[in-house]
Amino acid sequence: METDKGDGQKNSRSSSDLLVDRHANKENTVINVNGIEIGGQNVIIIAGPCAVENRVQLLETAKEVSAAGANILRGGAYKPRTSPYSFQGLGEEGLKYLSEARKLTGLPVVTEVMDTRLMELVCEYTDIIQIGSRSMHNFPLLKEAGKCRKPVLFKRGLMATIDEYLLAAEYILSEGNNQVILCERGIRTFETSTRNTLDLSAIPVLKQRTHLPVIVDPSHGTGHSWLVPAMAKAAIAAGADGVMVEVHYKPLEALSDGLQSLYPNEFTQLVKDIEKIAKAIGRKKLSR
């Protein structure tokens, strides 16, 4: 594999030299987040609303997913939306609600950071920082994530090949942060039946090529709540270390991605089904 040096020359570099590569670490990297191990024998479930909309919405949803067996709470304080007129998130107010939800439930929290200027603030409030698909090629942001030293949930870009994805992840590791969780969330193809095309084949490919944990986001991968349980279970069967699903206590009133959000009772059933799938393949869903 060759990489640009920036002066027009090429720096010959074999894949075995890359920090993300399986050759760099024969053992699977296991990331510990407040006692929760990601990448080990157990599988984990991250759940919560797409966006933090208000205090009641977040806390009610957090209590529901916690009771059902989620291991980590998700929620966007800053939302990258296609339209500038769509709900953009609550910003620091949303971060404070996430911190309150963590105290209430005991769940670690993950939220997205979109701007290098916000990295320090987001790191202050969250346990895992998320780099979204739209930011996969924002290399200054990736470098700041590498310096943050917090675990990074790193989503594959909308149209990125696996080679491009892993080289982008290398930006984070090259800054000294090896706590990277890869996340397949679907890629854009010509198919219109789903929001994206969820590439489940990426799971075994990434598992073969890298030592990093791999999780799957079937909510963004499909865009339809009725497809989420099937794809979540398929992801675990294919070897994913966990899934991240969107859950809202009132999906029809959601300000962001309500159509792909599960009701709490649907999420409860999904957790039970994942426990069965994990057991069938010799793994276990991490208990609370």
3-class DSSP string for 46-93: EEECCECCCHHHHHHHHHHHHHHCCCEEECECCCCCCCCCCCCCCCHH
Rounded-to-integer distance, Cα 234 and Cα 254, Å: 26
**Can you give the pLDDT at residue 81?**
78
The confidence band for 60, taking pLDDT boundaries of 50, 70 and 90, is very high
Average pLDDT over residues 21-34: 94
- Of the candidates 44, 231, 70, the one whose C-alpha atom is nearest the C-alpha of residue 151 is 44
pLDDT tens-digit readout, 230-269: 999 999 999 999 999 999 999 999 999 999 999 999 999 9
pLDDT at 62 over 70: yes
- Asked whether the beta carbons of 237 and 270 are under 8 A apart, the reply is no
Burial of 49 (0-12, 13-18, 19+ CB in 10 A): buried
Q: What is the mean pLDDT of the chain?
A: 93
Residue 5 has pLDDT above 60, yes or no: no
pLDDT level of residue 41 (50, 70, 90 thresholds): very high
Instruction: Give DSSP secondary structure letters for 140-176.
Output: HHHHHHHHH-S-EEEEPPTT--HHHHHHHHHHHHTTT
Q: Tokens representing 34? A: 């407040």
Q: Is the pLDDT of residue 8 over 70?
A: no
DSSP state of 263: P
d(CA 71, CA 67): 10
Confidence of residue 14 (pLDDT cuts 50, 70, 90): low
By the 8 A CB rule, do 213 and 182 touch? yes
Separation CA 196–CA 174 (nearest Å) = 30
Q: What is the mean pLDDT of residues 76-87?
A: 85
| Integer Cα distance of 24 and 17 in angstroms | 7
Is the pLDDT assigned to residue 15 strictly greater than 60?
no
| Full set of structural domains in the chain with CATH | 26-281 (3.20.20.70)
What are the structure tokens assigned to 97, written together? 């609600």
Bridge partners of residue 284, in order along the sequence = 42
Indicate the pTM of the whole model.
0.93
Percent of the chain with pLDDT over 70: 94
| CA-based torsion, 9, 211, 203, 264: positive or negative | negative
- With beta carbons less than 8 A apart as the criterion, state whether 178 and 146 touch: no
- pLDDT category at 88 given cuts 50, 70, 90 is confident
In this structure, which amino acid lies at residue 100?
Answer: E
